[in-house]
């Protein structure tokens, strides 16, 4: 009887993907050790604001930087598809964010649930900022600058009024703001949408390789 393999249904070779991801991450660490290390240290600071700054800087040093400096074309011949590059970058960043955010549990003596929520909150911000920087870079603009501008705008708009539905000064945007996160679920969906739009724009521009 032929062995059933779930990965075939998804047309996805797990072992091959993990190997390629390992190669890609190794390449990034070798070429950008200083930047990645410095920006990662910023993420260890137990402050959400500092982590947002660290995320902006870290995102700007990864695939966004390769696209901006035309280095990404070399990666397509290794070979990495656009889909793989986008997702490997995102997964690598999520891993870094998860590890550094876990430090909050120790610093603030949080419960396991509170620690997981702290990690989730930072990942929400990452999805939005990574999506913004990739989207604008793909469209030919400076993703780093625009990620700063939109993050500041999000923080200002999200901080207006109240997150209380019954309050006279209720601000609907505060619920989906990726910095305010009045509702973590709605903020996650908003951030995930931004990230998906960036993914779609990136793989479609110039055609998937």
pLDDT in tens, 160-193: 988 888 888 899 999 999 999 999 999 999 999 9
Q: Which residues, in sequence order, are CB contacts of 34 under 8 Å at separation 6+?
A: none
Residue 70 zone, left/alpha/beta (φ > 0; ψ -120 to 50; rest): left
- pLDDT of residue 4 exceeding 60, the answer is no
**Packing angle between helix 112-138 and helix 82-101, nearest 10 degrees?**
150
- 6 within domain boundaries: no
- Average pLDDT of the segment spanning 140-164: 94
pLDDT at 73: 60
The pLDDT of residue 156: 96
**Residue 3 in domain:** no
| Of the candidates 137, 151, 38, the residue with the CA atom closest to the CA atom of residue 96 | 38
Provide the residue range defining the domain that includes 171: 14-204
Identify the pLDDT of residue 77. 58
pLDDT tens readout for residues 13-56: 677 777 778 888 888 888 888 889 999 999 998 889 999 999 99
In a domain, 181, yes or no: yes
> Is residue 5 one of the residues assigned to a domain?
no
- Judge whether 118 lies within some domain: yes
Res. 80: pLDDT tops 80: no
pLDDT of residue 184: 95
Render pLDDT for 93-128 as a digit per residue (tens, 0 to 9).
999 999 998 887 777 777 888 888 989 999 999 999
Number of residues written out for the chain? 209
* 209 assigned to some structural domain: no
Residue 7 lies inside a defined structural domain of this protein: no
User: What is residue 3's predicted lDDT score, i.e. its pLDDT?
Assistant: 47
46-49, long-range: CB < 8 A, 24+ apart = 46/103, 46/104, 46/107, 46/108, 48/121, 48/122, 48/125
8 located within any domain: no
Domains in the chain: how many in total? 1
């Amino acid at each position: 009887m032929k062995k059933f393999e779930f990965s075939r249904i998804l047309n996805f070779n797990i072992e091959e993907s993990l190997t390629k991801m390992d190669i890609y991450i190794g390449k990034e660490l070798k070429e950008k050790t200083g930047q990645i290390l410095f920006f990662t240290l910023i993420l260890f600071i137990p402050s959400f604001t500092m982590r947002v700054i660290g995320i902006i800087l870290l995102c700007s040093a990864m695939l966004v930087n390769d696209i901006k400096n035309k280095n990404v074309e070399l990666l397509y011949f290794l070979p990495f598809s656009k889909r793989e590059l986008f997702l490997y970058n995102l997964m690598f960043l999520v891993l870094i964010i998860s590890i550094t955010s876990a430090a909050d549990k120790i610093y603030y003596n949080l419960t396991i649930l509170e620690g997981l929520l702290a990690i989730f909150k930072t990942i929400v911000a990452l999805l939005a900022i990574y999506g913004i920087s990739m989207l604008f870079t793909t469209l030919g603009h400076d993703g780093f600058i625009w990620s700063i501008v939109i993050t500041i705008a999000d923080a200002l708009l999200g901080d207006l009024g109240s997150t209380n539905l019954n309050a006279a000064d209720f601000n609907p945007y505060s619920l989906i703001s990726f910095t305010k996160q009045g509702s973590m679920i709605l903020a996650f969906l908003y951030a995930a949408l931004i990230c998906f739009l960036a993914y779609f724009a990136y793989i479609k521009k110039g055609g998937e390789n």
